């Protein structure tokens, strides 16, 4: 009786599912979280900030290189003045309290968006966060603050138009790649995975250009409740998908 052929050695590294390099999150549901508990909206935003601290740590633990979070949109200015003041205050508190810890953990902070309409002290704090951490090499935390994707693309178009008008660029040289370099995210890879919490299923003017081929995961979990389990579940959903970038499925052959 002949011996059975040996099974090839199992290589855990080969079997490990891919971890997305860049995860972007639309942090939604703070207000509903508070309302369901009979609490003021501010408490929902405060708990949402705690969830952000936790998610930054988890992303680093999981080996994610870039984490982009939607902190404040261009459209959020339409909210009540008191709520806007609360959100700005929470951001100030986050930077003042967490910046040293982020820096100590080798986290690089990037801000995308515009400083139009922001208080000078807040602009200074955001610049300090970027400058202090610019040489860090672990997780890059990208905060989309006072950000809107349509507005970002309009800014990029104006930059390119100015270059054409000044003779620095020919119209025929405006390619997809050249346009991408004019965006706020010029040195940041496109997101592999976009997660939106709270059960809403829309992009809300977030990374519309960059997310062209991102996988989208919508979870019913409200942002203040988004913990390691919810994060890992979203990553598992991503890992079950086949990214084709416009090509054919490998199952077709």
CA gyration radius, the chain: 21
Active site residue 227: no
Q: What is the pLDDT of residue 113?
A: 97
Q: Which structure tokens are listed for 60?
A: 């680093």
Residue 96 is assigned to a ligand binding site: no
Q: What is the pLDDT of residue 17?
A: 77
Active site residue 28: yes
Per DSSP, the residues of 169-224 read: S-GGG--HHHHHHTSTTTTSPPPSEEEE-TT----TTSSTTTTTT-EEEE--S-GG
Quote the pTM value. 0.90
Q: Is the pLDDT of residue 152 over 90?
A: yes
243, 215 in Cβ contact below 8 A? yes
Q: Is the pLDDT of residue 150 over 70?
A: yes
Residue 1 is assigned to a ligand binding site: no
Residue 89 is assigned to a ligand binding site: no
Apex CA 63: angle with CA 58 and CA 65, to 5°?
Answer: 100
Average pLDDT value over all residues in the chain: 92
Q: Which structure tokens are listed for 205?
A: 């003017």
Catalytic residue selected from 28, 86, 184, 192: 28
Residue 2 is assigned to a ligand binding site: no
Taken in order of first residue, the domains within the chain and their CATH numbers are: 19-148+190-239 (3.40.1180.10)
233, 220 in Cβ contact below 8 A? no
160, 169 in Cβ contact below 8 A? yes
Q: What is the pLDDT of residue 242?
A: 82
The runs of H, that is alpha helices, within the chain are 12-15, 30-36, 41-62, 81-104, 120-133, 149-165, 176-181, 228-239
Residue 232 is assigned to a ligand binding site: no
pLDDT, mean of residues 143-161 = 97
Catalytic residue selected from 54, 76, 136, 205: 76
Residues near 241 by Cβ (< 8 Å), separated by ≥ 6?
Answer: 215
How far is it, in rounded angstroms, from Cα 6 to Cα 51? Answer: 49
Q: What is the pLDDT of residue 196?
A: 98
How far is it, in rounded angstroms, from Cα 114 to Cα 148? Answer: 9
Q: Is the pLDDT of residue 163 over 70?
A: yes
């Amino acid at each position: 009786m002949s011996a059975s052929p040996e099974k090839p050695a199992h290589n855990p590294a080969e079997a490990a599912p891919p971890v997305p390099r860049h995860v972007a999150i639309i942090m939604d549901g703070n207000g509903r979280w508070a309302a369901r508990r009979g609490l003021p909206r501010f408490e929902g935003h405060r708990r949402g900030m705690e969830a952000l601290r936790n998610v930054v740590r988890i992303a680093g633990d999981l080996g994610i290189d870039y984490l982009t979070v939607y902190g404040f949109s261009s459209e959020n200015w339409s909210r009540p003045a008191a709520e806007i003041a609360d959100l700005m205050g929470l951001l100030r508190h986050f930077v003042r309290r967490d910046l040293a810890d982020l820096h100590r953990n080798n986290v690089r902070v990037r801000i995308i968006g515009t400083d139009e309409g922001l208080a000078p002290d807040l602009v200074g704090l955001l610049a300090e966060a970027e400058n202090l951490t610019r040489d860090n090499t672990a997780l890059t935390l990208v905060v989309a603050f006072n950000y809107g994707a349509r507005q970002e693309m309009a800014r990029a178009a104006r930059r390119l138009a100015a270059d054409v008008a000044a003779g620095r660029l020919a119209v025929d040289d405006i390619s997809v790649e050249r346009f991408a370099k004019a965006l706020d995210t010029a040195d940041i890879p496109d997101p592999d995975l976009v997660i939106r919490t709270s059960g809403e299923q829309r992009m809300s003017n977030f990374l519309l250009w960059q997310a062209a081929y991102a996988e989208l995961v919508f979870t019913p979990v409200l942002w203040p409740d988004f913990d390691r389990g919810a994060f890992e579940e979203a990553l598992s959903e991503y890992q079950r998908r086949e990214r084709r970038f416009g090509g054919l499925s490998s199952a077709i052959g």
